[in-house]
Every structure is written in C-alpha cells, then in structure tokens.
C-alpha cells in the first residue's frame, strides 16, 4: 500500500541521509516536505508560548529537488496552492519514490500538538481548542 511521509524542511534536513536507503532498496515512498524556510515547530512554540520572541529559527535551505534527484528519486517544487492537487496526483501515479517540496507560509501552524509539561491526552486542536480525556 502507498506510504507517505510528511515532514518539515528542518526535519527533512535532519534525516536527508535516509534518501540513500530509499535509493538502495527501491522503496516507493512518497515524501511531502512542508517547506517554510524555518524550523517550524520551534517557531510555532515561540509564537504560541513565548510571545512571538523568535530566535534562531530561519533556515537557508539547499535545493531539495536537486538533492533528491541526485538519489534517482523523482521530485518537484510546488509553489502555489492551485498546483498542489495535480502534483499530488502525479506523485501518487508514479510507481516509485517521489518527493514534493511544498512551499508553505512561515506563520502556518501544525496541529494537533501537546504543549510541554502537559499529559499526552491534553491536545491543542488549534490555538484555542483543547481536547482532553479529563474534560
């Protein structure tokens, strides 16, 4: 069955060596990089819990598409929302590994999340909505 990986550009940078395993074993994994040129998770915490005091989160990324192609994996950039659906279709129809480098706004946040110091069943569904087994 299809296997898809969603990761941010920072996470992709930290695990980029796994492209070698994908190439070596011919794994048909589909990779979606949510690229905002930031350490997005850290930036989100700084926005939500540290009064927008941003520090050390911008990133200068390499050309991910060129790197992925060097491993023999098909890849493309997606810059606009209207280009996303056809790109996903191409990716899912391709029989081998494929990577979409998807541009996202640096202010976008990723939910759900559990804030530090909370139990794992205390989950923020968005900036204002909490789900908890306690409720």
Structural class in CATH, domain 4-109: alpha beta
φ/ψ region of 72 (left if φ > 0, alpha if ψ in -120 to 50, else beta) reads: left
Q: Is the pLDDT of residue 53 over 90?
A: no
What pLDDT was estimated at residue 122?
87
Alpha-carbon gap, residue 27 to 96, rounded angstroms: 7
Query: Domain residues of the chain, as ranges?
Result: 4-109
What pLDDT was estimated at residue 40?
65
What percent of the chain has a predicted confidence (pLDDT) above 70? 96
Which residues make Cβ contacts (< 8 Å) with residue 42, sequence separation at least 6?
A: 10, 56, 57
Tens-digit pLDDT profile for residues 35-49: 988 776 777 777 777
Note the maximum CA span of the chain.
Answer: 51
Tens-digit pLDDT profile for residues 62-106: 999 999 999 999 999 999 999 999 999 999 999 999 999 999 988
Which residue would you say has higher pLDDT here, 22 or 60? 22
| Cβ contacts of 116-121, under 8 Å, gap ≥ 24 | 116/45, 116/49
Which DSSP category does 80 fall into?
A: S
What percent of the chain has a predicted confidence (pLDDT) above 90? 57
User: With a threshold of 0.75, does the pTM exceed it?
Assistant: yes
């Amino acid at each position: 069955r299809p296997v898809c990986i969603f990761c941010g550009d920072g996470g992709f940078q930290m695990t980029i060596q796994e492209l070698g395993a994908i190439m070596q074993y011919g794994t048909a994994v589909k990779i979606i990089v949510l690229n905002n040129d930031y350490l997005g998770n850290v930036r989100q915490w700084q926005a939500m819990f540290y009064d927008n005091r941003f520090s050390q989160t911008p990133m200068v990324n390499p050309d991910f598409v060129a790197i992925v192609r060097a491993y023999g994996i098909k890849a493309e950039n997606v810059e606009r929302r209207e280009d996303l659906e056809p790109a996903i279709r191409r990716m899912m129809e391709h029989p081998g590994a494929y990577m979409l480098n998807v541009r996202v706004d640096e202010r976008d946040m990723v939910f759900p999340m559990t804030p530090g110091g909370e139990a794992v069943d205390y989950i923020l569904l968005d900036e204002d909505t909490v789900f908890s087994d306690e409720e």
